[in-house]
Structure formats: structure tokens, C-alpha cells
Structure 1
Amino acid sequence: MFSKIKTIIALLIFITTAVHAQQYAGKLKIERLVDTTVNAIGQKIAYPQFKDAKVTMAKITFPPGETTGWHKHLIPVFSYVLKGRLTVEIEGHPPAEYKEGDSFVESYDTYHRGTNKDTTDVVLFVVYLGGDGQPLAVKKQ
């Protein structure tokens, strides 16, 4: 449980500000999980302007063989693998694999799907930066 709380705190710190250890007192251990200006397929990270901004944090569990189905995001999405190994197929790009402890910035406006190809659950911690009623994901028709 403490490990999950530590992970959540680290992700929140990452998302809200550029973190430098000297900004804090005490013996905190801060590990940068992602420090980039581009997402998983090289697209420049851009934050949409919303009148009513909204942050959604989710824990997503993929049983063995389960997939998200093809979808895309029109908002920034940040993922951290808490458990297992996730395979992500991205239109026009080679597949990527993310294992426990990996962090990644998901592709923007590009269809992709995540699949658990292993025999145990995959668990993700995901942060969506949205607002104004924007859906978290758009399914491929």
C-alpha cells in the first residue's frame, strides 16, 4: 500500500510542477518518472486550454488477454505501470511494451490499443488532463 501511495505522490508532483529535490526539506527521495517534451511517439506535448479544467486519475486493471480496443486521446494522458507488462499498438508506429515501473506519455490524436498478452493482470495508474466535457478517450469507429 505504501508503495502505491508513494507512486501516486510522485506522479502528482511530476504533473503539477517541475520538481527539484532541493525545493523540499527533509530526506524525501524524489525519482523522476518522466522528464520529456514529447510523448511516446515523438509528438510535442501541448496542454489544451479549457474553461473548466479537470484532472482524472484512474487505476485500470487488464485481466490476461484483455485490451482497451482501438481508441485515441484528445487530451494529455500519463501512464505508470504498477503491475505486469502492457503491449501498446499504435497506428503507423511499431508496438511498444511497458513493464512494471515504466512510465509513459500516451500518444495524442493517434489510434492505439493496449493489450495484456501475459497470464497475470496488468495494472496501470493513469492521469488524464481534460475539461469542458472532453471525453477521456474516443473509440475508433
Structure 2
Amino acid sequence: MKRISFIIVFSCIGLIATAQYNKGVVLETILKTDTTSIGQKIVYPSFAKDEVSIVKVTLPPGKSTGWHKHFFPVFAYVLQGTLTVEVENKKTLQFPVNSSFSEVINTLHNGVNNGNEDVVLIAFFMGEKDKPLSVH
């Protein structure tokens, strides 16, 4: 009985999501979260001039972003390679191709390419107009 209820609930959710668009349009959730990759609660800051930036980042083999932090939510999708993220608390995270993640907020971190091919990702910065995307 529980399995049937579970199937009915998820079928209804799927119908609601698909009903938002014309027949034949497929929605595939890439990431749905309320926390960062290290479990921080995502909170949108209140800015005077909100601005979203979508950036393609290419990190060659052996290179890193350098230690930096963001003061607002940033989301990323890995198109190619495997990104290693070192976090200031000595934690290391791995994000392979076709994975997505919510970056850490107000926490120093460093993106590293330890592989033999470029790491390519698309990053979505939920920032403020005329302000930097990150701070070293």
C-alpha cells in the first residue's frame, strides 16, 4: 500500500511539473537544494541592485582558481572534467562531469583541476550589480 501511495504522489508531482509547459517538453531537475555543498543553509542577501551572472569557467589541467569566497549563492554545473574543491576546513569535494553543486558561501575555497583535460563548468552567480563575483 505504501509503495502504491508513493508512486501516485510522485506521478502527480511529475504531472504538475510537466503541465507547466507544452506537451513534449521534458523537465529534468539538475539540482534542487536549500544548502550548499558543505551543508550551509542558502540565504539570499538583500542587495540594492540584484544581478545574475552566468559564466563559463575553463580550468586547464594543473591550474586552480586560487583561494576565494563568495558572499552570495553560486550554483555550478560541470560540463567537462572533474573539479576538485578544497575548502578552508580542510574538506575536499569532487564534482565529476554532469554534476551540479551549490558553492560554499562566506567560506574560503579553491577550485582545482587535477585531471589531464580542461575542467569546464557553467556558474550562476546570484550577486549584486557592480560588485565582484568573488573576493580573494
> Structure 1-normalised TM-score?
0.82
- Residues 1:81 and 2:51 aligned together: no
Counterpart position of 1:112 = 109
Picking from 97, 101, 105, the partner of 2:98 is: 101
- Residues 1:46 and 2:39 aligned together: no
Counterpart position of 1:23 = 20
> Structure 2-normalised TM-score?
0.85
What are the ranges of 5 or more consecutive residues in structure 1 without an aligned counterpart? 1-18
Asked if structure 2 preserves the Cα contact closer than 8 Å seen for 1:33 and 1:103, the reply is: yes
What are the ranges of 5 or more consecutive residues in structure 2 without an aligned counterpart? 1-15
Q: Percent identity?
A: 42
Q: Deviations over 1:37-91 (max 9, x none)?
A: 1110111011111121111110010110010010000011000000000100011
Count matched residues. 121
More strand by share: 1
- Alpha-carbon distance in structure 1 between the residues aligned to 2:129 and 2:54: 17
Picking from 125, 137, 141, the partner of 2:134 is: 137
Counterpart position of 2:64 = 67
Off by >6 Å, runs of 4+ in structure 1? none
Matched letter for residue 98 of structure 1:
F
SS at match of 1:24: coil
Counterpart position of 2:32 = 35
- Alpha-carbon distance in structure 2 between the residues aligned to 1:60 and 1:104: 14
Matched letter for residue 22 of structure 2:
A
Tell which structure's C-alpha radius of gyration is larger.
2
SS at match of 1:20: helix
Asked if structure 2 preserves the Cα contact closer than 8 Å seen for 1:53 and 1:130, the reply is: yes
For residue 118 of structure 1, report the CA deviation from its aligned partner: 0.4
